[in-house]
Amino acid sequence: MRFVLLLLTAIAIALATGFGLSYYALTDGRLFGAAQIGPWISWPDLGSAAPNPYSRGHLAREAMLQLGRAEGLQFVATMDSAGEPLDLACSYRLDGHVPVSSFWTLSAVDRQGVNLAAPGADLALRSSEVVRNNDGSMSVHVGKALSPGNWLELAGTGPFSLQLTLYDTTAFSGFSSDNDTMPAITRGDCA
Amino acid sequence: MTRIVLWLLGGALLGGIIHILVILTLPLLAEETTWSRVSAFEAKNQMLILPQVEAGEPNPLRLDPELVYGLCQVDLADGPAYLHGLLPDAFWSLALFNEAGAVIYSTTNRDGIGQTVELGIFNAAQTRLLAQQQLDIAEGLLVVEAPSDRLFVLVRLSPPHEAMRKRFAERLAAISCGPRP
């Protein structure tokens, strides 16, 4: 009886760690194939000719057209800088700098990758449209509530994620020590 | 007590093995791959403009709404593939994907090529013919050697403003792609 119980426990642990770890590694992936700067996560190996097994698994799950190494990098944030999940009920502010790039775009999507821009609003915010502060940093408002300055206007309810895509970037290239910086995401008022 | 711990450790070890097996076999088990999604478009030997991303609509290929995408599927078994044309003066980049969905080559217009797209894709045998000067190619052609035959090319073009999108898409669609006639 004791033997059977121990065997079942061991099998349960094996299944839970095996599949749980795999699911985590391919979705969040921070300890595996993904790199993190603040709340932003990127998979730097996705665009290489021979991605590592975790990046390959991530690609197989998403089946998307990823950027090649020379083309750029995409960062995704599902949480704000305080670690709270991004929710459409709240408004957010992005402050800071991005790594050197030719240009970048910022858009908001839900879990299925559906764009959440408000009807009639731009689907994404582009770096050339952003008004910057005197020190060259940027402040971008994201959310449904009417906001001044740079505003990515959204619609809908529930959790969302932000995608910041840098084209032709030097991020993670190791050329400059203070280059790998991403804007902080601060939560504002919630409805 | 030791026995219980050993059983638990054994379970965790088996979990690790399951994890490695899952990660390694997942790409082989996937039914809907980048290749199958791309093959659904009829882009064989022609530059096809992918439909624009709309708010509230599914976007399975995770396209950037700000860009115009041109897709072309080629098979090097029909001979080397050539891309030829001129793009507007704006950022563009090009990626060559293999059947597994990995980018085997990518470049941007800032790598000194400017507006001209002149690219030749050759497999290993064709590269050998090229080295033996048995294949005639135009001067200034960017030569890319591909390890496999079935590939697709994705060109991303960035219109600086939404008003330019239609004109940019027309220019991108005018790029010729495929084996030499």
For residue B18, give how far its alpha carbon lies from the nearest alpha carbon of chain A (Å): 5
ipTM of the complex: 0.88
Over pLDDT 70: what percentage of chain B? Answer: 99
Write out pLDDT tens, residues A61-77: 889 999 998 899 999 99
Q: Give the pLDDT score at B47.
A: 94
Mark yes or no for CB contact B66/A123 under 8 Å: yes
Q: Give the pLDDT score at A27.
A: 80
Q: Which of A12, A17, A107 minimises the CB distance to B19?
A: A17
Phi, psi (deg, nearest 5) at residue B78: -85, 5
Mark yes or no for CB contact A123/B33 under 8 Å: no
Helices (H), ranges, chain A: 2-27, 53-62
Cα–Cα distance measured from residue A182 to residue A39, given in angstroms and rounded to the nearest whole number: 9
* Amino acid letter for position B44: K
Mark yes or no for CB contact A25/B54 under 8 Å: no
Mark yes or no for CB contact B91/A19 under 8 Å: no
Write out pLDDT tens, residues B86-114: 999 999 999 999 999 999 999 998 876 78
How big is the CA angle at A116 (ends B106 and A161), to the nearest 5 degrees?
A: 65
Q: Give the pLDDT score at A176.
A: 59
Mark yes or no for CB contact A19/B22 under 8 Å: yes
In the predicted structure, residue B12 carries a pLDDT above the cut 90: yes
- The residue of chain B with its CA nearest to that of A105 is B66
Cα–Cα distance measured from residue A127 to residue A72, given in angstroms and rounded to the nearest whole number: 14
Question: Averaged over B112-135, what is the pLDDT?
Answer: 88
Q: Which residues contact B179 (CB under 8 A, 6 or more apart)?
A: B45, B74, B78, B79, B80, B81, B82
Q: Which of B21, B53, B60 minimises the CB distance to A115?
A: B53
Which residues of chain A have a pLDDT value below 70?
Answer: 174-178
Q: Which of A14, A53, A70 minimises the CB distance to B11?
A: A14
Q: Give the pLDDT score at B5.
A: 92
